[in-house]
Amino acid sequence: MLINPWVRNYEKDDHAALGRVREWAANKLGSNVDYGFGYGTWVFIGTETVIKIDPEVGRPERFSHELAVSQMEIPGVASPRVLETGALEGRAWVILNRLEGSSGYNVWPGLDQDGRRKLTTQLATALGHMQQFEPDRGMLHAETENWSQHIRLSFNRALRAVDAVVPGRVLTQSQGAFAQWAEALVDRPQVLCHGDLWFGNILVDNDGGLSGILDFDRMAMAPADYELDMLLRFWRYPWNFVPEQLEATYDDPLDIELMKPFVELCQGDLSDEALSARLSTTELIYRLNLVNRFGWNDESAEMFETVLGGDWAAGLV
């Protein structure tokens, strides 16, 4: 049996409350619990249910996204249902039903090209159904009614945050590139976007078919092309997402041709140039935020060169 690859995330978190939370989760689930995966979330998996707990105190609305889509129906594809919510020592928690299936990143390497094409097509079809669902917008965290303004404000905040960290030349190039790309930031109709789609957030059945979609923490009402943001990032750098034991398996970018069903769903009337510009703006913001969190290094320099060179969406459009 493999050691749970996500245990290391909890071991790095020396929060004094974690031991008490784990004991409480085991009692709540009524069974032995295993660690799940979550950035900025403690996840405990039982036999039939899953508990997600916010490590931070005082955020009662933390899992309102899960509630917002709890009644969503996608034909043939399961999504979590909220069973109970509450707070423990000021930390919000939610209990969800556990879905059947294997994590997509475990299944993908064993699929042939036809199997991979089938899975991506099924995922695009599921996203099309998800786009038709109208959640209670009052339960969503982000204020995104004016998407283009939201992107501009996000860029300005991210740029200011790294002013003393990023080389001046890169800051100047970032400002110039964003000014050019911003012309494509026209407002489009907003639909429900998952916002965090990679193979760790999909489940696959024994036949290689899509069986479930998980983790709606980054869900947003946004232009459809926003869904391509995380998908493209995962497609180009999958080794940065998967468990450490699978990094060698995912040591090359995925076949960009397999993203075509997502592009067909999300591009709409955007030109290729406009879509490329919009994806480049969100990737630039993402990279600036990473530098703010982890500092400037050689990998940062390489990534900025790719994005600022206009090659981020190469092959996609």
Q: Is the pLDDT of residue 3 over 80?
A: no
Percent of the chain with pLDDT over 70: 94
Q: pLDDT per residue over 290-299, tens digit each?
A: 999 999 999 9
The answer to pTM > 0.85 is yes
Q: pLDDT per residue over 220-272, tens digit each?
A: 999 999 999 999 999 999 999 999 999 999 999 999 999 999 999 999 999 99
Q: pLDDT per residue over 5-56, tens digit each?
A: 444 444 455 567 888 888 899 899 887 778 876 778 899 998 899 999 998 8
Q: pLDDT per residue over 102-141, tens digit each?
A: 999 999 999 999 999 999 999 999 999 999 999 988 888 6
Domains of the chain, earliest start first:
7-97 (3.30.200.20), 102-308 (3.90.1200.10)
DSSP string covering the chain, please? Answer: -PPPTTHHHHHH---TTHHHHHHHHHHHHTS--EE---TT-EEEE-SSEEEEE-SSSS-TTTTHHHHHTTT--BTTBB---EEEEEEETTEEEEEEEPPPSEEHHHHGGG--HHHHHHHHHHHHHHHHHHHT----GGG-S---SSHHHHHHHHHHHHHHHTTTTS-HHHHHHHHHHHHHHGGG-----EEEE-S--SGGGEEE-TTS-EEEE---TT-EEEEGGGHHHHHHHHHH-GGGTS-GGGTTTT-S---GGGGHHHHHHH-TT--HHHHHHHHHHHHHHHHHHHHHHH---HHHHHHHHHHHTT-TTTTT-
Q: Give the mean pLDDT of the chain.
A: 91
